[in-house]
Every structure is written in structure tokens, then in C-alpha cells.
Amino acid sequence: MSNIRDLNRKIHSLRNMQKVMSAMNMIASIKLRKLTRLQDSLITFSDSLKVMRENIMTTLHHKKEPIIYGYKTIKKIHVIILTADKGLCGSHNNSIRKMADAILVKYGGDNQTFEFTCVGTKGINFCKTKQLDIVAQSPIHESIFTMDKLKSFSDRIFHSFYEGKNQLVLLLYNQFHSTIQQTPVISQLLPLSPNHETEETASINKYAGYTEPKEKKFLPQAARLYLSYSFQAALYHSLISEQAARMTAMENATNNSEDLINRYGRARNRARQASITNELIEIISGKEAMKG
């Protein structure tokens, strides 16, 4: 009987968990439906950012500015990581942690230091566990991380790079493709040229070398806007990816819990049948003993 009670307790617990997971799946689906309305605009916005960056590069390729080609030596790297505030969203957070670990291994051997901007509680906890230098942090919830806060973060990061306090700015986030595909991405925001494009490629632009206002004013303003807009696009990619990953994870968890409930139900039925059989055997044995 104790075995049957244990199985009943497990089934009851799984039923309660299943209700919670179904509710989380429903909430994630509603949020995802709301956010995916922005997907077409987000794709257009991201493509425009690429064109903006290419135009800056092709117009000002002759300027040996740190904003374009970077610094000769990299002593400090600024890493922006975008994660969720909560778990239960599949590999959404874990993929960012793995990329951050890979960056620490890749650049950590040349006496280089790191500083982090963390948007999302899970990323904050990761950096605190690793005892990494966090210069700015915030939850990622859309009602908390406002556009003003985004601008404040991006401006601080840009001025730190422009003044030479750090020489490389990397952004880690999950890029949304569909409800079943989100890709972890490492994007280099500053300097603008990740591959040091050649002058031969850059000279295609017939307006190369002509800007209004002049380059010294135009380049910092353009790079600052590019950084802010890239940050904004990545933020929305991360928010959509989080809800898609949570919806998929909760749907899978609900299905798996149903399989477990069925398995425990069959085990309970077998245990109950065995208990009934044992009772019948005892009754029959007692009756036969009384005859003797």
C-alpha cells in the first residue's frame, strides 16, 4: 500500500506541475505573439543597420580612426551580455554563458582585462559568480529597461571606447529566426570594421570621403547611433527569443510530464492489481486452512 500511496503522491505532484507549465506556456505564447508583430520591422531595422555600417565604412575607409579600424593593442574588452531575468526557457541563458566563457578563454591569455554590461538577471548572476567586473546592470523586462536606460548604457559604452578606456566592444545575445530556432550570436560593435576591409572594397562608394558634417563630427555621432541602434535590435531579438524558447520548453515539459503520469499510472495499476491478488491469495489460503 505504501508503494501505491507513493505513486499517487507522484502523480498528484506531476498534475500540479503540469498545470503550472501549461500556464507558463500560455503566457509565453501570448507574449511571443505580441512581440512577433515586430519581427518584420525588426528585420528591416537590422538590415538598415548593416547598410548604415557599410556606408560609414565605405565613405570613411581612408580615415585611420580607432572607431573604424580599432586600436593597435587591446588591453580591455567591454562585453555586453543579454539574458533573461528568469529560467525555464531552454538553452536561452546557457548558450550566452557558454559564449561568455569562450570569450574569457579566447582573450584572457594575453593579460587582457574585461568589463561587463549585463542586461538580464541571469547574466548578472553569472558575472557575479565568476567575480567579473560589472560596470552596468539592469533587468531586461521591457517595462524596466526603457529606451532612456538603453541610451544611457550605449552612450557610456561609446564614450569609454572613444576615450580609449576599452579597445573592443562585443555583444552577446540570441538572434530570433523562428519559434524553434534561435541562434546565439557574438557581434563586434566597436570598432566598426571586424575584418579590416581593404581600400579596394571600400572604394566602390563614389561618395567616399564626402560627409556632412565633416568627418571629425560625423564619425563619432554615426558610430554612437550605430551602437545604440544595434543594442536596441539585439535587445528585441533577445526578448523574442526568450519567449519562444520558454514556450517550446514548457510545451516539451508538459508533454514529458504526461508521459510520466501515464507511466506512473500503469505502475500504480500493476501495484494495485498485485495487492488485490495477494489479498485473494490470503483469503483463499485461510479458507483452505480452515477446511483442513
Q: Could you please report the per-residue DSSP string of 228-281? A: HHHHHHHHHHHHHHHHHHHHHHHHHHHHHHHHHHHHHHHHHHHHHHHHHHHHHH
- 135-157: pLDDT as tens digits: 999 998 767 777 788 888 899 99
Q: Which three cell numbers stand for residue 175?
A: 538572434
- Nearest-Å Rg of the Cα atoms of the chain is 28
Which of 184, 235, 243 minimizes the C-alpha distance to 46? 235
Q: Are strands 113-119 and 76-82 parallel, antiparallel or unpaired?
A: parallel
- 83-122: pLDDT as tens digits: 999 988 989 999 999 999 999 988 877 678 999 999 999 9
Architecture of the domain spanning 22-250: 3-Layer(aba) Sandwich (3.40)
62 or 185: whose pLDDT is higher? 185
pLDDT at residue 65 in the model: 82
252 or 57: whose pLDDT is higher? 252
Report which residue type is found at 128.
K
Distance (Å, rounded) from C-alpha 13 to C-alpha 6?
11
pLDDT at residue 5 in the model: 86
Query: What are the boundaries of each domain within the chain?
Result: 22-250
Q: Which three cell numbers stand for residue 129?
A: 559568480
Distance (Å, rounded) from C-alpha 163 to C-alpha 52?
23
pLDDT at residue 212 in the model: 66
- 203-218: pLDDT as tens digits: 445 555 555 667 777 8
- Assign residue 118 a region: left if phi > 0, alpha if psi is -120 to 50, beta otherwise? beta
Q: What is the dihedral of CA 146, 147, 149, 154, to 10 degrees?
A: 140
What's the pTM value of the predicted model, to 2 decimals?
0.82
Distance (Å, rounded) from C-alpha 71 to C-alpha 79?
17
Q: What is the dihedral of CA 158, 94, 101, 155, to 10 degrees?
A: 10
Going from the C-alpha of 157 to that of each of 94, 98, 104, 221, 227, the distances in angstroms are 25, 23, 19, 14, 9
Distance (Å, rounded) from C-alpha 151 to C-alpha 232?
9
